[in-house]
């Protein structure tokens, strides 16, 4: 590498080192603000009690009575407020966690006690947020009545940093992205047309004809569902209950001897519990989604018979075996896609297509049937 190349590398290294080690911290008093300081992060509790500054050759501690505010950067800011207790009043540095129409502050005190406060933006009047859900939803909702979508969704927030941050981000989107509905818990009812596909694996005669033929059994099913947003974003946890009934029969003929026939009859009804991860592209009109996960299937009725017919001259000999060709308990995988119309409305409709596979886990030398299905459904949400 020539001299100019080495010089350029040296300059780049210096610039990168400078940017990584640059001090963005600051402290403020009533008279002035000093920037370019190295603030020491001592953890939530001690950060609320005093601000420690590293000046290189010494450390200095500043109390909430000395500073009005300090910050590690623009995203981690602490402000000084007087806090009242049962028999005391003391100033603390409260961490500013939300900066919006109302500012939300966080405080961790002695013994791990966590408290939240709010002020109207740029106001010094501090109001403690109640810990009871009815209390904090009513208090926060009082300040945000200019966005109906948020007030409808306020029951879903929890009193912690992440949930509050997501909620107020959604509040900002109420004005920045008015075409995007807010995620909310949705309950649904669905009527489906299901094409059940039964794949027999039968062992009574290795020479019978079409032993791997699939059997298609159309039926209608009914179900209920719940869709719960994860982190108030596009992802949600989708689950529910689906009731369906499957009936099928099939005849098999031995193609070598021609002397034995088999009939298989299945009468199977079940309830399934899908647990899916759903991603919804939230739109004001039509919101498409993709989903996938697992499902548990429990038999409510499970009847299966294999009839054997043998021929000798003009005589027919028949016998039957009652067996469970499908397991009483199945675990499978399922995936699908669909659309929701009017997601942000109180009531909306949806349509979807979903495919599921439920293998019957039995020994190879046992008669059994593997179950899968394709479902086309339409329903409404509320």
**Is residue 350 within 8 Å of residue 378, measured between CB atoms?**
yes
Residue 102 to residues 84, 134, 149, 152, 153, Cα–Cα distance (Å): 21, 19, 17, 18, 17
Token pair recorded at residue 378 = 């339409």
Judge if 66 and 153 occupy the same domain. Answer: yes
Judge if 206 and 344 occupy the same domain. Answer: yes
Is residue 161 situated within a structural domain?
A: yes
Judge if 77 and 155 occupy the same domain. Answer: yes
Judge if 230 and 148 occupy the same domain. Answer: no
Judge if 99 and 141 occupy the same domain. Answer: yes
The per-residue pLDDT string of the chain (382 residues; one tens digit each, 9 = 90 and over) reads 555 555 555 545 544 444 444 447 999 999 999 999 999 999 999 999 999 999 988 999 999 999 999 999 777 999 999 998 777 789 999 999 998 888 999 999 888 889 999 998 767 789 999 999 899 989 988 888 887 777 667 777 889 988 888 788 777 777 777 667 777 788 999 999 999 988 877 655 554 444 456 788 899 999 999 998 886 678 899 999 999 888 777 766 554 455 567 788 889 899 999 999 999 998 878 999 999 999 999 999 998 888 888 777 777 788 888 877 888 899 999 999 999 998 877 789 999 999 999 987 654 556 778 889 999 999 999 8
Residue 251 to residues 59, 189, 263, Cα–Cα distance (Å): 89, 37, 4
Is residue 11 situated within a structural domain?
A: no
Residue 357: name the closest of 320, 324, 330 by CA.
330
Q: What is the predicted pLDDT for the residue at 253?
A: 59
How many structural domains are present in the chain?
Answer: 2
DSSP H helical ranges for the chain: 3-21, 44-49, 133-143, 148-153, 161-176
Judge if 170 and 205 occupy the same domain. Answer: no
Judge if 27 and 167 occupy the same domain. Answer: yes
Is residue 34 situated within a structural domain?
A: yes
125, 145, 176: which is the final residue of a domain? 176
Judge if 144 and 62 occupy the same domain. Answer: yes
Judge if 63 and 170 occupy the same domain. Answer: yes
Name the pTM for this structure. 0.61
137, 152, 176: which is the final residue of a domain? 176
One-letter-per-residue 3-state SS of 331-349: EEEEEEEEEEECCCCCCEE
Residue 170 has a CB neighbour count (10 Å cut-off) of: 22
What distance in Å separates the CA atoms of residue 2 and residue 92, rounded to the nearest whole number?
A: 57
**Is residue 323 within 8 Å of residue 309, measured between CB atoms?**
no
| Residue range of the domain that includes 81 | 21-176
Q: What is the predicted pLDDT for the residue at 336?
A: 97
Judge if 226 and 365 occupy the same domain. Answer: yes
Is residue 315 situated within a structural domain?
A: no
Judge if 167 and 285 occupy the same domain. Answer: no
Is residue 5 situated within a structural domain?
A: no
124, 150, 176: which is the final residue of a domain? 176
What distance in Å separates the CA atoms of residue 209 and residue 205, rounded to the nearest whole number?
A: 9
For residue 42, give every residue at least 6 positions away whose Cβ sits within 8 Å of its Cβ, in sequence order, or none.
Answer: 52
């Amino acid at each position: 590498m020539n001299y100019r190349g080495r010089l350029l590398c040296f300059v780049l290294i210096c610039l990168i080192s400078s940017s990584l080690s640059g001090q963005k911290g600051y402290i403020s008093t009533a008279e002035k603000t000093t920037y370019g300081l190295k603030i020491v992060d001592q953890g939530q509790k001690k950060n609320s009690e005093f601000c420690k500054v590293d000046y290189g050759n010494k450390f200095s501690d500043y109390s909430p009575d000395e500073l009005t505010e300090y910050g590690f950067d623009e995203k981690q800011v602490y402000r000084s407020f007087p806090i009242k207790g049962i028999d005391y009043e003391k100033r603390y540095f409260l961490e500013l966690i939300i900066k919006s129409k109302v500012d939300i502050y966080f405080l961790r005190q002695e013994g791990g006690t966590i408290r939240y406060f709010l002020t109207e933006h740029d106001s010094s009047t501090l109001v403690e947020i109640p810990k009871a859900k009815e209390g904090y939803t009513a208090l926060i909702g009082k300040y945000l009545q200019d966005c109906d979508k948020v007030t409808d969704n306020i029951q879903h927030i929890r009193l912690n940093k992440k949930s509050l941050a997501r909620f107020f981000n959604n509040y900002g989107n109420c004005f920045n992205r008015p075409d995007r509905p807010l995620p909310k818990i949705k309950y649904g009812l669905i009527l489906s047309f299901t094409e059940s596909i039964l794949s027999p694996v039968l062992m009574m005669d290795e020479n019978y004809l079409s032993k791997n033929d699939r059997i298609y059994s159309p039926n209608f099913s009914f179900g209920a569902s719940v869709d719960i947003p994860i982190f108030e974003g596009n992802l949600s946890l989708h689950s529910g209950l689906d009731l369906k009934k499957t009936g099928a029969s099939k005849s098999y003929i031995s193609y070598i001897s021609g002397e034995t026939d088999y009939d298989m009859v299945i009468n199977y009804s079940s309830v399934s519990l899908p647990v899916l991860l759903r991603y919804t592209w939230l739109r004001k009109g039509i919101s498409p989604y993709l989903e996938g996960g697992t499902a548990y299937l429990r038999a409510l009725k499970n009847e299966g018979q294999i009839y054997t017919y043998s021929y000798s001259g003009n005589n027919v000999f028949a016998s039957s075996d009652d067996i469970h060709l499908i397991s009483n308990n199945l675990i499978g995988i399922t995936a699908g896609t669909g659309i929701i119309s009017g997601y942000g409305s109180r009531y909306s409709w949806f349509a979807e297509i979903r495919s599921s596979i439920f293998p019957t886990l039995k020994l190879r030398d046992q008669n059994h049937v593997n179950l899968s299905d394709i479902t086309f459904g339409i329903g409404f949400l509320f």
